[in-house]
Amino acid sequence: MQRDELVDYLNEYFRVEEIEDKSLNGLQVQGPDDVRRVAFAVDGCQASFERAVAEEADLLIVHHGLFWGEPLPLVGPHFRRVRSLIEGGCGLYAVHLPLDMHPHVGNNAEMVRRLGLKEREPFGEYHGVEIGFAGRLEPPLDISALIGRLVEALERPPIRVLDYGPKAIEYVGCVSGGAASMMDQVADAGLDAYVTGETSHTFFHQAFERELNVLFAGHYATETLGVKALARHLEEQFELRTVFFEIPTGM
């Protein structure tokens, strides 16, 4: 299909003009006019660009793109990244917060679905919009059972678990990536457990003092879900050939 037709569809599907974000969401590097093969990765990095070119992809769609609200000179690694795409004949499309919050192919919609949460509702305000979801487990689970379900959902173990909340877990919230700072919202919402991506030393005491169950499943791992779901959607919608690049960071 035509690149511009696909870009217009994605921009509308994700409402990129409506959602405030540091990421420059949308087409970041132009690429060829015709798109037959689309590659997907979490990160716009040298490794994903080189693999996209090697796979003869016409467009690479990523969650974390190259441009984040500030101009960057085309020197050093940034120059090499852009040069790889231009010389390799591959475009780049980035979709950040709009992918986190999307109700059908979003990272958090997928997380809620894979965890089997019912009565889904928006949760986790960021930049004036709610980017995550919360829902209920029927029947409630203990923390070890929830961990097991999360491992199965992500096909990898959580990095860290802080289990200072209720023993019976029913009401669970999910915000992928680096959303540990939302613990005040977790406490205010009365969640029994919270699933997010990465953490740091700072957030231990916040979870302990608020008596929260928090599962840190990895920034990268929690943000593979929406990218893969989008690939499936475009395959079904437009019969495009797609490929996902697994480039884990361990973070």
Model confidence pLDDT, tens digit, residues 84-111: 999 999 999 999 999 999 999 999 999 9
Question: What's the rounded mean pLDDT across residues 113-117?
Answer: 97
Q: Retrieve residue 183's tokens.
A: 């613990």
43 contacts 244 by C-beta, under 8 angstroms: no
DSSP line for 168-229:
SEEEEEE--SS-GGGHHHHHHHT-SEEEES---THHHHHHHHHT-EEEE--HHHHTHHHHHH
Domain 3-95, CATH: 3.40.1390.30
Q: Which of 77-81, 157-161, 188-192 has the lowest mean pLDDT?
A: 157-161
Is residue 130 within a helix (H) or strand (E), and if so which, with residue range? strand 129-141
Q: Which fold has domain 101-222?
A: 3.40.1390
Are both 3-95 and 101-222 of the same fold?
A: yes
Single pTM value for the model: 0.96
Report the pLDDT value the prediction gives residue 160, as an integer from 0 to 100: 93
Question: What's the rounded mean pLDDT across residues 6-12?
Answer: 98
Domain range annotation of the chain: 3-95, 101-222
Residue 158 has pLDDT above 90, yes or no: no
Report the pLDDT value the prediction gives residue 156, as an integer from 0 to 100: 84
Question: What's the rounded mean pLDDT across residues 20-33?
Answer: 97
Query: Partners of 141 in the beta sheet?
Result: 169
Residue 127 has pLDDT above 90, yes or no: no
Look at residues 122, 225, 113, 207 and name the one whose alpha carbon lies nearest to residue 161: 207
φ/ψ of residue 13, rounded to 5: -60, -40
CA separation for the pair 242, 60 (Å, rounded) = 10
Question: What's the rounded mean pLDDT across residues 109-116?
Answer: 97
CA separation for the pair 190, 123 (Å, rounded) = 12
CA separation for the pair 108, 141 (Å, rounded) = 20
Neighbour-count burial of 152, counting CB atoms closer than 10 A to its CB (0-12 exposed, 13-18 middle, 19+ buried)? exposed
Residue 84 carries which side chain, given as an amino acid letter? Answer: S
Report the pLDDT value the prediction gives residue 157, as an integer from 0 to 100: 83
Q: Retrieve residue 93's tokens.
A: 């499309």
Angle between helix 46-54 and 76-88 (nearest 10): 10
